[in-house]
């Protein structure tokens, strides 16, 4: 995937190089640099939109969490390219016309295509600022998602600017085709598919039950759910047609395999929307898109499997704990939680462990405690043949990163550590 993105960027550079007219004039050098950074920024915006188009083949192959990280990292590069493009274009015009920078900026903004580009850049900058770590701590998930919708009008404004550029004859047809392709994918997978699935499966809430402090399970029933092909370890994006929930699609993993045309998710109250889920009533209509995610049995390469869950990350691990093939002693689950009362789905986990003769260990204690039960030595003590296992890992980002590093130090090859973690 990354090789394909890099190859596309290389093709853009080659097309730019084929159009370059060598010149030592300062205004021409600025204009050439503006042309290259603009082309790469436009290509980068398309890549960002494609990564978030929810194309099943891409999400299943790469993993939704990795796509999200690539999207975030790519956004920073796109903003830098846009800033460079605007600066080079401004300096080139100022030098060419013999103007100061402020006068040149006022004149350039008088052109509709350039005003559209400036507006689109401003919208993308707003998205980028709200994605910065300091800003995200102060924003609700719902507000952050709302600001991110500005990417679409920003991309449209940028496209209008690109079509008005000097490279229309050579690149116009390619640029229009690329934008049309990404637009079709976005509309199809983010609008048409959810509506089609809603009409086909007619999902409704069957039950909401408490599982622990601030944690509930939601059982959803519907028709033809086998057609979803939802695997243990995957998640769907859920839209509950409730007065205060309908406008947001929330990603939650299945906490049990699909049975008898029912789906189950287990949700911890972490934000305003997830807290409202506990007040859902039976019969509430549901739209679920997916499934997504690559944390499935298909990743397995070894007979022995270790599952590690942190906090509410137990939900996909519980489904895998029940369904991953394996004989006695081949499956082990480590469940990290702050205290015994924070354990979720405990009775189910213990019943599965007993029925399958699988290992189950609760690793309790504060995250900042002196003893780390997920340190390399502790992991090897719990699982002596640790290096012979595939490891599935799901939990908060800090725990997932630290545990992945500990597993590698304990001798588990990176290719056998399968993880997905999401953060806001």
Q: Which of the two residues, 320 and 277, has the higher pLDDT score?
A: 320
Asked whether the beta carbons of 163 and 177 are under 8 A apart, the reply is no
- In the listed set 292, 320, 346, which residue is the last one of a domain according to the structure? 292
Are 71 and 175 within one domain?
yes
- Mean pLDDT, rounded, for 181-188: 89
Under the banding of pLDDT at 50, 70 and 90, the label for residue 424 is: very low
Q: Which residue range(s) make up the domain with 288? A: 202-292
Q: Which of the two residues, 180 and 334, has the higher pLDDT score?
A: 334
% of the chain surpassing 70 pLDDT: 93
Pairing of strands 331-337, 359-364: parallel
Are 49 and 186 within one domain?
yes
Residue 165 has pLDDT above 70, yes or no: no
Residue 412 has pLDDT above 70, yes or no: yes
Are 257 and 392 within one domain?
no
Are 398 and 336 within one domain?
yes
Helix axes 64-97, 101-108, angle to 10 degrees: 110
Under the banding of pLDDT at 50, 70 and 90, the label for residue 149 is: confident
pLDDT for res 275: 66
Work out the mean pLDDT of the chain and round it to a whole number. 83
Under the banding of pLDDT at 50, 70 and 90, the label for residue 395 is: confident
Asked whether the beta carbons of 71 and 303 are under 8 A apart, the reply is no
CATH of the domain at 270: 2.40.30.10
Pairing of strands 304-310, 215-221: unpaired
pLDDT for res 264: 93
Burial class (CB in 10 A: 0-12, 13-18, 19+), 87: middle
Q: Which of the two residues, 307 and 395, has the higher pLDDT score?
A: 307
Residue 45 has pLDDT above 90, yes or no: no
Q: Model-level pTM?
A: 0.75
- Mean pLDDT, rounded, for 312-334: 90
Residue 147 has pLDDT above 80, yes or no: no
Per-residue pLDDT tens for 84-140?
A: 988 898 888 888 888 888 888 888 888 887 888 888 888 888 888 877 777 777 776
Q: Which of the two residues, 141 and 200, has the higher pLDDT score?
A: 200
% of the chain surpassing 90 pLDDT: 14
Are 239 and 117 within one domain?
no
Are 259 and 228 within one domain?
yes
Are 258 and 220 within one domain?
yes
Are 93 and 242 within one domain?
no
Per-residue pLDDT tens for 332-346?
A: 999 998 888 888 889
Residue 132, in any domain of the structure: yes
Are 13 and 152 within one domain?
yes
Per-residue pLDDT tens for 353-377?
A: 999 999 999 998 887 777 888 888 8
Lowest mean pLDDT among 118-132, 193-207, 216-230: 118-132
If one counts the domains in the chain, the total is: 3
């Amino acid at each position: 995937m990354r090789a394909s993105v890099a190859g596309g960027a290389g093709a853009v550079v080659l097309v730019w190089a084929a159009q370059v007219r060598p010149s030592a004039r300062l205004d021409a050098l600025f204009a050439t640099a503006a042309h290259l950074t603009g082309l790469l920024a436009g290509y980068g915006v398309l890549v960002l939109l494609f990564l978030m188009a929810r194309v099943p083949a891409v999400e299943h192959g790469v993993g939704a969490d990795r796509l999200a990280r690539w999207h975030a990292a790519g956004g920073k590069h796109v903003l830098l390219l846009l800033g460079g493009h605007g600066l080079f274009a401004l300096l080139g015009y100022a030098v060419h016309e013999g103007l100061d920078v402020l006068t040149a900026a006022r004149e350039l903004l008088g052109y509709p295509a350039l005003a559209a580009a400036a507006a689109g850049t401003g919208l993308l900058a707003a998205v980028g600022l709200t994605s910065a770590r300091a800003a995200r701590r102060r924003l609700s998930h719902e507000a952050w998602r709302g600001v991110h919708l500005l990417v679409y009008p920003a991309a449209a404004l940028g496209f209008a600017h690109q079509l008005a550029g000097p490279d229309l004859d050579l690149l116009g047809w390619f640029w229009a085709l690329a934008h049309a392709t990404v637009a079709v994918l976005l509309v199809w997978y983010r609008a048409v598919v959810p509506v089609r699935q809603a009409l086909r499966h007619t999902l409704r809430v069957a039950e909401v039950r408490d599982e622990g402090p601030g944690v509930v399970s939601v059982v959803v029933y519907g028709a033809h759910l086998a057609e979803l092909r939802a695997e243990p370890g995957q998640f769907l994006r859920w839209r509950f047609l409730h007065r205060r929930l309908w406008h947001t699609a929330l990603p939650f993993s299945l906490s049990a395999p699909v049975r008898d045309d029912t789906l189950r998710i287990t949700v911890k109250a972490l934000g305003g929307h997830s807290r409202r889920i506990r007040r859902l009533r039976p019969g509430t209509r549901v739209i679920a898109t997916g499934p997504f995610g690559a944390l499935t049995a298909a990743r397995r390469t070894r007979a022995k499997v270790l599952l590690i869950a942190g906090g509410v990350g137990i939900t996909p691990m519980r489904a895998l704990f029940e369904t991953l093939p394996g004989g006695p002693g081949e499956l082990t689950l480590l469940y990290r939680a702050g205290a015994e009362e924070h354990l979720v789905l405990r009775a189910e986990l213990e019943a599965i462990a007993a029925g399958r003769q699988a290992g189950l260990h609760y690793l309790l204690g504060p995250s900042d405690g002196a003893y780390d039960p997920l340190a390399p030595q502790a992991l090897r003590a719990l699982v002596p043949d640790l290096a012979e296992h595939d490891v599935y890992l799901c939990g908060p980002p800090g725990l997932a990163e630290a545990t992945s590093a500990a597993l590698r130090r304990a001798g588990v090859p990176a290719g056998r550590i399968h993880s997905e973690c999401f953060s806001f």
